[in-house]
Amino acid sequence: MATIHDTTLTPSKLELLTGWLPRQSWYAGSGETPELVKAGGFRLDDPEGEVGIEFMVVADTAGQDPVAYLVPLGYRGAALEGVPGEALIGTSDHGVLGTRWIYDGAHDPVVRARLRALLRGEAKPQQQNVSDAPDPTVIVHGAGAGQGVDVRINRVLRATEAEQGAPGSLVAGWTWPDGTAARGEMAAVTPR
């Protein structure tokens, strides 16, 4: 199981995402530099113990209204071969583990495999900041529906009133910068 270290990352995740996020096609900002705050998320365990997996929600407060983004992250001890260059968010010096290569999890095969396992009911979501602690607030509707299908990651999050999600969807929460709690669909299975 993943161990959450009480240490620093230099540069920080938010610093790396501030430079990376505006270059993404799904970025909803209007050209200004994002002002990011951590808004929520959860983790998944890599059974091999090689890749740190975090589904991080950040809120961009630079515009008139804040926008919440889901960024799945894969933390690796070495560069990942065979992925597009834009998949690398950056490298950071971890106070315990040394240099970490931080990838957009949408391009990391281990992150994608663990997300599919979660949607099949074969993986348990973990709290974002506590080691070996399940996160019961992350709900998969219709666990098992993820068999033999692709996964859509919702990058720009929309808060929904309904707690019930569509079959094969993953619903989790985040907190807006004003302290308001929100929940919405973060990922869902799609037919091939």
Q: Tell me: the pLDDT tens digits for 12-65?
A: 999 999 999 999 999 998 777 999 999 999 999 999 989 999 999 999 999 889
Chain segment 67-116, per-residue pLDDT in tens: 999 999 999 999 998 888 889 999 988 766 669 899 999 999 999 999 99
pLDDT surpasses 70 at 163: no
Average pLDDT over residues 113-134: 90
Please write down the HEC assignment for all residues of 3-68: CCCCCCEECCHHHHHHHHHHHCCCCCCCCCCCCEEEEEEEEECCCCCCCEEEEEEEEECCCCCCEE
Containing H/E element for 112?
helix 109-119
The closest of 78, 156, 153, 163 to 114, measured between CA atoms, is: 153
Say how many C-beta atoms besides its own lie within 10 A of residue 120's C-beta.
18
Is 33 among the domain residues?
yes
Is 57 among the domain residues?
yes
What is the domain extent for residue 79? 9-190
Is 3 among the domain residues?
no
Is 1 among the domain residues?
no
Residue 32 has what pLDDT?
Answer: 78
Residue 148 has what pLDDT?
Answer: 56
Domain count, the chain: 1
